[in-house]
A and B are shown apart, each in its own frame.
Chain A
């Protein structure tokens, strides 16, 4: 049969270093920790007078966003610029794909301009994997969110935030609450948390928003906030998109908020020092009470700030892993 390369194998070079970053699934504890340690070393860059390091000098990073995003795209752009890369933002709605050019042709054109890295967001699950395997294998491909599949840099910045506040992962209970079904972030968080040997991962939501067989990913499923939040150290709220009300997944925003919205009362089920996280953008009064979003336990804005350092770490690691692999291939051919 046609060989199929699972994403977690495709993204590593023969030495086991990142050369793409497609998913947190299947990454070793050591590699996940290396990403966090590298991010740690970049946090101070943002505090310097000159916010630059020369790691990607002379490299061209292309931000390819097929889906709207403000936060992720800007933090990727800042991360690449702080690494001294040249950054190109491609606005897909006005680009050639709307003129009928295929995705492959468009990417080959960009590759022909000697791009070194693609940061890809796409509404189709597996799009970055497709690009890395079939279209531009010599370019480093970073997944900035694909369909419902993965959002690995978001998951890693969440891991960084947890480590910053809680230290060791092994004794932690982490609960992920809300629309798990449509969430690429939740899937990547579960894989990363399992890879970092966290104590327990829980997901909480109504059955309509928990995908089938989600327990096979290594998470315990709860349908009740009081039980699910008991003794947790970290509460991660997921965004609830308003469209979900129309597709018979939920009866109303108010019923969802009453049952699964994170209020001060519900937060009290968790440990007193539990931290509250959210990948953003938040819907106040839909999945999270305003007072909780702004309370002391909330680390939502710090997540955004750490996002730049974590993305710098991933960009620099993947670029070096890919460069090394391509050099080895060329050396082998010579």
Chain B
């Protein structure tokens, strides 16, 4: 793998690609010219443009770089699983130019110092923009408000409690009131863990057969219902990440219909995995929220199609091999998800669920818009964060083509319908397949 630092300030032309930018309602075959880190022109060459690097994208899609709302880079504190250098490199290889990292680092991302450290490391590596999400309570302990305003000043694009419980509803109410004072987005991962303290998979026939304690649907829907009521009361801008149940899609749809300022995403693997795949105690399928039933999976796909779920994220969680090499209940949850993020989300286009434009909205435009980022589009004069994706290049996911330090994916051996060929971050080549 090529770990050299991306080259800056090259003049690049990407020729003959199908350029898709839903924000400009653009979908046409055109050349894209990049100079000084920005998109200089689409179509005609700027006067006197002389390219340092040309890329022939004939038959390929030229799209805005993906904006991933939930990806662990495991730094600081978990270098055995990955670090900002390895994981942003893997993100670039997955066509991602911007990613948000959740606050469950060690130490917890509840101070300016940790937020600054993460952004500085990402800048040094240069593969992808990393935008931290701050902890909503100190130490994620669910008791004392974090310094949310300071965290925002330090670059956090929102706050989250993740799946760490806030047992006292008053504390949660205060958190939401305080966050809404400063217009901060709250990222929810709704789960009432008191319902499933030991659970490792969906509660159903398979968990009963395998004798694995289950996580019932209501663990998510009870928490989601409470969270929605408090969002309504406080008027905070809320985003619900990685929902897993059909009933959750209904709850979100109802809230949106009532005019609440709420959005939702789903992890791409959630659209492909079901609980019965865990039949052989395979820890690669151990993930939270758990893979649920075929009905849930179908409802999530319908939610993505209808736009109730307007964003697709990776929920990338790399692990070292030892974290998964134990009996199933003793393994750590999570999937190394960058590798399949673009191909399997694109498969929704292949299967007729989404159009190409809708796909780009869900992986780039909508998440960028949510967090107020000038990205997720190919506007002239904007920073050139883009990706070239070849929808005709089939490949098979193997250990050796997982760029992340974590090889923990249940999709090893699976055929992938399309591949990231080239990624530019602020006009610099952050990934090029032919050189990888």
CB distance from B15 to the nearest CB of A (A): 37
Judging by beta carbons under 8 Å apart, are B205 and A125 in contact?
no
Judging by beta carbons under 8 Å apart, are B410 and A130 in contact?
no
Taken residue by residue from 326 to 345, chain B's Cβ proximity to chain A (1 for < 8 Å, 0 otherwise) reads as 11111000000000000000
> Which residues of the other chain, B, contact A10 by a CB distance below 8 angstroms?
280
CB distance from B337 to the nearest CB of A (A): 14
Query: Is A150 in the interface zone, CB < 8 Å from B?
Result: yes
> Which residues of the other chain, B, contact A6 by a CB distance below 8 angstroms?
279-280
- CA A126 – CA B209 in complex, angstroms? 11
Taking CB atoms and an 8 Å cut-off, the chain A residues in 109-131 that contact chain B are 122, 124-127, 129-130
Taking CB atoms and an 8 Å cut-off, the chain B residues in 143-180 that contact chain A are none
Query: Is B414 in the interface zone, CB < 8 Å from A?
Result: yes
- Minimum CB distance partner of A212 in chain B: B203
Contact of B212 among A3, A5, A7, A147 (CB under 8 A): A147
- Minimum CB distance partner of B197 in chain A: A247
Query: Is B403 in the interface zone, CB < 8 Å from A?
Result: no
Contact of A147 among B203, B209, B211, B279 (CB under 8 A): B211
Query: Is A1 in the interface zone, CB < 8 Å from B?
Result: yes
- Minimum CB distance partner of A5 in chain B: B280
- Minimum CB distance partner of B321 in chain A: A104
Judging by beta carbons under 8 Å apart, are B208 and A133 in contact?
no
Query: Is A20 in the interface zone, CB < 8 Å from B?
Result: no
Query: Is B210 in the interface zone, CB < 8 Å from A?
Result: yes
Central interface residue in B207, B216, B280, B414, by most chain A CB within 10 Å: B280
- Minimum CB distance partner of A187 in chain B: B211
Query: Is A16 in the interface zone, CB < 8 Å from B?
Result: no
Given contacts A133-B280, A212-B203, contact A187 B209 (CB under 8 A): yes
Judging by beta carbons under 8 Å apart, are A125 and B281 in contact?
yes
Taking CB atoms and an 8 Å cut-off, the chain A residues in 1-51 that contact chain B are 1-7, 10, 25
Query: Is A98 in the interface zone, CB < 8 Å from B?
Result: no
- CA A177 – CA B169 in complex, angstroms? 40
Query: Is B204 in the interface zone, CB < 8 Å from A?
Result: yes
Interface of B is mostly: loop
- Minimum CB distance partner of B279 in chain A: A6
CB distance from B283 to the nearest CB of A (A): 8
Judging by beta carbons under 8 Å apart, are A212 and B211 in contact?
no
Number of interface residues of A (CB under 8 A): 34
Query: Is B412 in the interface zone, CB < 8 Å from A?
Result: yes
> Which residues of the other chain, B, contact A102 by a CB distance below 8 angstroms?
322, 325-326
Contact of A104 among B203, B204, B325 (CB under 8 A): B325
Contact of A214 among B208, B282, B327, B411 (CB under 8 A): B208
> Which residues of the other chain, A, contact B203 by a CB distance below 8 angstroms?
212
- Minimum CB distance partner of B284 in chain A: A2
- Minimum CB distance partner of A25 in chain B: B209
Query: Is B214 in the interface zone, CB < 8 Å from A?
Result: yes
- CA A146 – CA B329 in complex, angstroms? 11
Judging by beta carbons under 8 Å apart, are B410 and A1 in contact?
yes
Judging by beta carbons under 8 Å apart, are A126 and B212 in contact?
yes
Taken residue by residue from 132 to 147, chain A's Cβ proximity to chain B (1 for < 8 Å, 0 otherwise) reads as 0110000000000011
Taken residue by residue from 105 to 142, chain B's Cβ proximity to chain A (1 for < 8 Å, 0 otherwise) reads as 00000000000000000000000000000000000000
> Which residues of the other chain, B, contact A230 by a CB distance below 8 angstroms?
none
Contact of A126 among B210, B284, B325, B410 (CB under 8 A): B210
Judging by beta carbons under 8 Å apart, are B281 and A1 in contact?
no
Contact of A127 among B205, B278, B327 (CB under 8 A): B327
Query: Is B413 in the interface zone, CB < 8 Å from A?
Result: yes
> Which residues of the other chain, B, contact A1 by a CB distance below 8 angstroms?
277, 410-414
Query: Is A148 in the interface zone, CB < 8 Å from B?
Result: yes
Judging by beta carbons under 8 Å apart, are A129 and B329 in contact?
no
Judging by beta carbons under 8 Å apart, are B205 and A216 in contact?
yes
- CA A146 – CA B278 in complex, angstroms? 17
> Which residues of the other chain, A, contact B330 by a CB distance below 8 angstroms?
124
Query: Is B213 in the interface zone, CB < 8 Å from A?
Result: yes
> Which residues of the other chain, A, contact B280 by a CB distance below 8 angstroms?
3-7, 10, 129, 133
Query: Is A103 in the interface zone, CB < 8 Å from B?
Result: yes
CB distance from B408 to the nearest CB of A (A): 10
> Which residues of the other chain, A, contact B212 by a CB distance below 8 angstroms?
125-126, 147-149
Query: Is A211 in the interface zone, CB < 8 Å from B?
Result: yes
Contact of A134 among B204, B277, B325, B329 (CB under 8 A): B325
Given contacts A1-B410, A3-B413, A104-B325, contact A129 B208 (CB under 8 A): no
- Minimum CB distance partner of A184 in chain B: B211
Judging by beta carbons under 8 Å apart, are B329 and A213 in contact?
no
- CA A10 – CA B282 in complex, angstroms? 13
- CA A127 – CA B210 in complex, angstroms? 11
Query: Is A53 in the interface zone, CB < 8 Å from B?
Result: no
Given contacts A146-B211, A148-B213, contact A2 B413 (CB under 8 A): yes
Central interface residue in A124, A148, A214, by most chain B CB within 10 Å: A124
Query: Is A217 in the interface zone, CB < 8 Å from B?
Result: yes
Central interface residue in B322, B325, B413, by most chain A CB within 10 Å: B325
Given contacts A147-B212, A187-B211, A212-B214, contact A125 B328 (CB under 8 A): yes
- Minimum CB distance partner of A3 in chain B: B413
Contact of B326 among A103, A129, A184 (CB under 8 A): A103
Judging by beta carbons under 8 Å apart, are A124 and B327 in contact?
yes
Of all A-B residue pairs in the complex, the 8 with the closest CB atoms, nearest first, are A4-B280, A149-B211, A148-B211, A126-B281, A124-B327, A127-B327, A4-B282, A216-B205
Q: A125-B212, A125-B327 are in contact. List 18 more A-B contacts (CB 8 A).
A: A1-B410, A1-B411, A1-B412, A1-B414, A2-B282, A4-B279, A102-B325, A124-B330, A126-B327, A129-B280, A129-B281, A147-B211, A147-B212, A147-B329, A148-B212, A211-B207, A214-B208, A217-B209
Chain A to chain B contacts (Cβ below 8 Å), 14 pairs:
A2-B411, A2-B412, A2-B413, A4-B277, A4-B279, A125-B281, A126-B328, A129-B281, A147-B211, A147-B329, A149-B211, A187-B208, A212-B207, A213-B205
